[in-house]
Structure 1
Amino acid sequence: MLLLRNADVYAPEALGRRHLLLGGGKLLWMGEAEPALPDALAIDTIDLDGARLIPGFIDGHVHVSGGGGEAGYASRVPAPLLSRYTRAGVTSVIGLLGTDDVSRGTNELLSHVYALREQGLGAWGYCGGYHLPPTTLTGTVRGDIVFSDALIGVGEVAISDHRSSQPTLDDVLRLASEAHVAGLMTGKAGIVHLHLGDGVRGLELVRQALDTSELPPRVFQPTHVNRKKALFEEAVALAKRGCHVDITAFPVEEGEDAWPAAEALLRYLDSGAPPERVSISSDAGGCLPCFDEHGRVCGMDVGHSGALLDTLNELVARGLLLERALPAFTRNVADLLRLPGKGRIAVGGDADLVALDGQGAARHVWLGGVAHVRAGDVVRRGMFER
């Protein structure tokens, strides 16, 4: 067991100075007065001396097996290693496939999800990828979600993008119904995680789906909604109708027709849309390409989970209270994806915790109460990390 003393707890709501007792992967107790514990328990103690303690981030859009592939085989991005997540304060990830859902499939994705689990990280995934029919293990989306404990939805399915399979409304409705019913059968999220490109159709397919079907809005989660300013306004309107929308923490150049993640969240919170229906993810391990007018790659970057902590610190520096910023990285994601014990600091919940230093970096990181980062140093690495 481990006793954390004098933590300034954001759960994500601000609780003030607390002491916390961790054990068996859980938060066992939390209180204002330090507990009297028997010496025989030999409990380790860390005095956080007023450091801010937050729930570990849930990165809801990660290419755990690597992304890319739009510019030939050499452009396939390698899979991120364990410490790339933990040193950024990420304690749980949702893995997915993107453009390359042929040479990379659901079986490989699941292998990486299970490998991360073996190393202590919370990890789940989506079956499918950009294209329809979706790549699956069992032959159907419903079968994958029902029979694989780690698969909780389908995605990232591309719409309004030249790399998509140009799905029709019927295609989207059929896919969403498969995911929704599987979610009902299993208690999982059962959502369709939708990649949004730069196409002029924007979120029109999702609006049509809501207008013409009985499917609940929560089934549809568009991501990359800040890549175009007009697209972002469409996403805010959909959030007011019940959809959950996901902002991507990718780099935005000055003058670009896009909103940086921090600016997008501030605008979302000011819009009057429900604050619980927005999240921020990193696209870690994914290729961030730009294309010329012929659809050819003319430049490329790679997403990384550290963008989440960078975005959080920018939000706080711009005056947003930490307790208002945090849910988009923690509780909102856990609630949408039905991940019990995640996204909160609560007795009985998982001991996935991050203590921030004065500059907002992850000074200590615990996954299930086990230290992965201590005093800023990575102390647990993946099998093939030096």
Structure 2
Amino acid sequence: MSSADSAPLILLKNAELFAPDAQGKCQVLIGAGRVLEIREQGAESPRGIAVEIIDLHGRRVVPGFIDGHVHVTGGGGEGGFATRIPPLPLHRYTHNGVTSVVGLLGTDDCARTVRELVATVLGLREQGLGAWAWCGGYHLPPATLSGDVRSDIAFIDPILGVGELAISDHRSSQPTLDELLRVASEAHVGGLMSGKAGIVHLHLGDGVRGLDLVRRALAQSELPARVFNPTHVNRRRALFAESIELARHGCHVDITAFPVDEGEDAWSAADALQGYLESGAPAERVSVSSDAGGCLPCFDAQGRMSHMDIGSPGALLATIRELLARGLPLQQILPAFTRNVAELLRLPRKGVLAAGADADLLVLDEQSRICDVMLGGRWQVREGQAVARGPLDASPPSFDPGNGNN
């Protein structure tokens, strides 16, 4: 019997629930790592069984964030081996509200391997995080564990698809249409065989070709549009306009929460998500990811890295808080960080708070800061204090709920 199975039930009372749709004041009954029941606010507490009752005093409860683009083994390396970024520890995710991740390789799919990626994902799972992976990386042929994309997806449990395959980028393999279609067909069939997402997660660079290769793939093949999942679509404003049109034709597009300088030809994640929602494109076909642990490089005219930043899991919460400050309703914002991602990835117990769902949830205070984090029915943070730690942490890390970018 696991510790989650033997723990008493937890009843959250006076919760303003966003599941992610607004549910009003509710009670949330939790046990064995799952949401057991969403109850009316006035329902009596269960009798004859041990129940820990927690009064949230009207604070908002939301699903944990699903970050579909995370360099769990570390990213970087474009400026030499000394610029390789180390992996982030568990608390960097959970304390910023991220309860599920999809790990990937980027530019460095040579020194970093799918074997290392899968091992890191499994290690995060051992610590309770929801964790999966894309096989491959920027380049062709895709890096795999079994020898081909289809077999990786079909037979290796954490692998959901292939990515981040780079297009319209000077660091890519400059794939042709036929090469992209071959990879996409392998991903699609692997997904059909295994019931997984089976998609191609596409890194978009700032090249002028933009999403032309994806449009041609849709026009000249029988593959469903959902197979093609472009990310970083807000890195150029013209590219973002292209991505909205692709979403209208069935693709799911992913916005990256990276820093954008004033006057830059890009949209911030907050601007992009607001613009997408106001465009009338299908609201269920957009998500926001952080590029956590990845290198955010700038290159000179010769293609050499001039400087770099590092993606942070806290960028998701920061984006939500910015949109709330603009007056957007929480229930309109949340799906791009929760349910939309889970539906794309075919993870039915993630991204929602309903009977049978995994008990991954956040409690937000009046300033929309995270004050409590629950992961699989176990508290990671309570009232702004870390209560859990990874096996390599000497002591629980300090936590500032007002930072949102730890």
Number of the residue aligned with 1:376: 384
Moved over 6 A (4+): none
Map 1:114-129 → 2, pairs under 5 A = 114-129=122-137
- What are the superposed Cα offsets for residues 130-168 of structure 1, whole Å, 9 maximum, x if unpaired? 000011011100010011010000000000000001000
Cα separation, 1, equivalents of 2:157 and 2:225: 24
Give the alignment partner of residue 286 of structure 2, picking from 278, 286, 294: 278
Map 1:122-161 → 2, pairs under 5 A = 122-161=130-169
Cα separation, 2, equivalents of 1:375 and 1:34: 25
Q: How far 1:37 sits from its partner (Å)?
A: 1.9
Give the alignment partner of residue 340 of structure 1, picking from 345, 348, 352: 348
Give the alignment partner of residue 35 of structure 1, picking from 27, 44, 48: 44
2:29–2:39 CA contact under 8 A, matched in 1: no
Which range moved further: 354-363 or 247-256? 354-363
Give the AA of the match of 2:313: S
Q: How far 1:384 sits from its partner (Å)?
A: 1.7
Q: How far 1:313 sits from its partner (Å)?
A: 0.7
Give the AA of the match of 2:352: R
Verify: 1:365 aligned to 2:373, yes or no: yes
Q: How far 1:34 sits from its partner (Å)?
A: 3.2
SS at match of 2:246: helix
Cα separation, 2, equivalents of 1:46 and 1:67: 40
Cα separation, 2, equivalents of 1:377 and 1:219: 41
Map 1:218-297 → 2, pairs under 5 A = 218-297=226-305
Cα separation, 1, equivalents of 2:74 and 2:312: 11
Give the AA of the match of 1:219: V
Verify: 1:51 aligned to 2:56, yes or no: no
1:5–1:34 CA contact under 8 A, matched in 2: no
Cα separation, 1, equivalents of 2:76 and 2:122: 21
Q: How far 1:232 sits from its partner (Å)?
A: 0.2
Identity in percent: 64
Give the AA of the match of 2:69: H
Cα separation, 1, equivalents of 2:371 and 2:26: 18
Verify: 1:321 aligned to 2:329, yes or no: yes
2:70–2:104 CA contact under 8 A, matched in 1: yes
- The number of residue pairs the alignment matches comes to 385
SS at match of 1:41: coil
Cα separation, 2, equivalents of 1:109 and 1:358: 38
Give the AA of the match of 2:215: R
2:29–2:36 CA contact under 8 A, matched in 1: yes
Q: How far 1:350 sits from its partner (Å)?
A: 0.7
- What are the superposed Cα offsets for residues 26-54 of structure 1, whole Å, 9 maximum, x if unpaired? 1111111233322x522112111000000
SS at match of 2:354: coil
1:331–1:344 CA contact under 8 A, matched in 2: yes
Q: How far 1:385 sits from its partner (Å)?
A: 2.3
1:177–1:215 CA contact under 8 A, matched in 2: yes
SS at match of 2:265: coil
- What are the superposed Cα offsets for residues 22-79 of structure 1, whole Å, 9 maximum, x if unpaired? 00111111111233322x5221121110000000000010000100010111111110
Which range moved further: 59-68 or 41-50? 41-50
SS at match of 2:315: helix
Q: How far 1:200 sits from its partner (Å)?
A: 0.7
Give the AA of the match of 1:35: E
Number of the residue aligned with 1:185: 193
Cα separation, 2, equivalents of 1:383 and 1:220: 37
Cα separation, 2, equivalents of 1:287 and 1:164: 16
Cα separation, 2, equivalents of 1:378 and 1:217: 42
- What are the superposed Cα offsets for residues 83-138 of structure 1, whole Å, 9 maximum, x if unpaired? 00001011000000000000101000001100000000000000000000011011
Cα separation, 2, equivalents of 1:92 and 1:170: 33
Verify: 1:210 aligned to 2:218, yes or no: yes
Verify: 1:310 aligned to 2:346, yes or no: no
Gaps of at least 5 residues in structure 1 are none
1:9–1:18 CA contact under 8 A, matched in 2: yes
Gaps of at least 5 residues in structure 2 are 1-8, 395-406
Cα separation, 1, equivalents of 2:317 and 2:13: 24
Q: How far 1:360 sits from its partner (Å)?
A: 1.3
Give the AA of the match of 1:291: F
Give the AA of the match of 2:121: V
TM-score (norm 2): 0.94
Number of the residue aligned with 2:22: 14
Verify: 1:353 aligned to 2:346, yes or no: no
Give the AA of the match of 2:356: G
SS at match of 1:234: helix
Cα separation, 1, equivalents of 2:393 and 2:82: 22
- What are the superposed Cα offsets for residues 337-365 of structure 1, whole Å, 9 maximum, x if unpaired? 00011000101111111001122111111
SS at match of 1:372: strand
Number of the residue aligned with 2:397: none
Cα separation, 1, equivalents of 2:331 and 2:166: 33
